Amino acid sequence: MVTVTHFFPAHGGGLELVAQKLVSELATRGFSLHWFSSGTDDVPQLSAENVTCTPVATTNLMERLTQLPYPLWSPGVLPRMWKAIGAADVVHVHEHLYACSIIAVTIARMRSRPVVITQHMGALGLGNRVLTLCYEAGARLLGALVFGAATRAVFISANVRRFFSRDRNPSSLLIFNGIDTERFTAAPPAQRQAVRERLGFPADRRVVLFVGRFVRKKGLHIINRLAQRFPEVLWVLVGSGPENPSQWGLDNVKLPGRVEHDSLPQYYQAADLLLLPSSGEGFPLVVQEALCCGLGVLSTDEVATACPEAESLIRAQPTPRVESDVDGWEDALRRVLADDAYLDARAARSERARQLWSWAQCASLYAQLFRTVARKGFA
């Protein structure tokens, strides 16, 4: 089968990590995979012999100018994609909005190959009502075309499926991303204290954690304002990107930089709260990971409703649309930091979250789906 993503995991996004894990899981289940993605970052080192990764010559000017990750591939890849898709039993595309995704779906249609598209993102707040409405109208219109051309559409959250009005569509499925529930788990109190000491987190201060790309979409401007209003809190921002929190000049902000994914559990285990005031999310991988580690989460209402079974585990605030929304986030953060019962319920929260998501379950659902559409062929 052929897999298409806009970036490889080294670019720093949760979508790409999900794609890599799914490729690895499917390879162990006997699938042969050819993964096409932008050649802007290091190619993942996968041990499976039945996985081929092709980095594509790419122009990434759009992201450098606007923070919008929209790579444009060289036309030179088209002959190789044409051949690979023609030889595949099924094509798996992540996200409908990218040019590489549209190209892959188009070639698959031309070559009469079944396509499964996984949609991770729905609504997106752009800080301007007109631009936001234009984006949403365009995304929905393109979605109607691309999902209509696909054999099946998979949505990683209920809110994304609602955004595209695919709730009752028989060719649409809901499959939540998997989590390594052995690695992402709550730490006993003594172990948690040792991790805090190792990371340099003071025992007498609340620690609020952010994990993700340093871009405005993730709410970095809100975190900046909140860090100023809560000087008693230690703010730990894990990630990288065009925004530069080191320029904020705040002594209560700690920047570990990019952290290897295998090392992330210790940050979730040591912190007191994950804060994610972002827009345009489906169900972020970092939220699932944090909950599996028992960490409390304050995020948006769209994230909280993404997985109805997990809604009670998350504290929610309306998705930020304008600059003044920071006042509501200040009130919400103050309430959560004072709620000892919620913050301390780490073991129960971890147990519930780890029951909901596992990679074994996620990969099995995808494997069954791919085998089904491959048997039925192009439709």
Q: What is the CATH number of the domain that holds 80?
A: 3.40.50.2000
260 lies in a domain?
yes
Q: Which domain holds residue 63?
A: 2-178+358-376
108 lies in a domain?
yes
Angstrom distance (rounded) from CA 44 to CA 251: 36
**Residues 252 and 171 reside in one and the same domain:** no
**Residues 348 and 202 reside in one and the same domain:** yes
184 lies in a domain?
no
**What pLDDT score does 324 carry?**
59
E strand or H helix that includes residue 334: helix 326-337
183 lies in a domain?
no
**Residues 30 and 149 reside in one and the same domain:** yes
- Contact status, residue 57 vs residue 73, Cβ threshold 8 Å: yes
**Residues 334 and 368 reside in one and the same domain:** no
**Residues 205 and 114 reside in one and the same domain:** no
276 lies in a domain?
yes
Residue at token pair 């990434």: 60
AA letter at 365 = L
- List the pLDDT tens digit at each of the 379 positions of the chain: 999 999 998 887 778 988 999 999 999 999 999 999 999 988 988 877 899 999 999 988 877 777 677 899 999 999 999 999 999 999 999 999 899 999 999 999 999 999 999 998 876 666 667 777 887 888 899 889 999 999 999 998 888 898 899 988 989 999 999 999 999 999 999 999 999 999 999 999 999 999 998 988 888 999 999 999 999 999 999 998 888 999 999 999 999 988 988 899 999 999 999 999 987 777 888 999 999 999 999 999 989 988 889 999 999 998 876 555 788 999 999 999 999 999 999 999 999 999 999 888 899 999 999 999 998 766 5
116 lies in a domain?
yes
Quick one: how far is CA 183 from the chain centroid? Answer: 18
**Residues 17 and 29 reside in one and the same domain:** yes
**Residues 372 and 329 reside in one and the same domain:** no
**Residues 30 and 54 reside in one and the same domain:** yes
Angstrom distance (rounded) from CA 157 to CA 161: 7
**What pLDDT score does 378 carry?**
60
**Residues 75 and 224 reside in one and the same domain:** no
Residue at token pair 């094509």: 91
Residue 216: closest CA among 141, 158, 139, 131: 131
**Residues 153 and 195 reside in one and the same domain:** no
For the chain, what is the domain count? 2
**Residues 140 and 211 reside in one and the same domain:** no
CA distances from 117 to 121, 242, 354 (A): 12, 29, 26
62 lies in a domain?
yes
Residue 140: closest CA among 157, 160, 155, 126: 160
**Residues 243 and 221 reside in one and the same domain:** yes
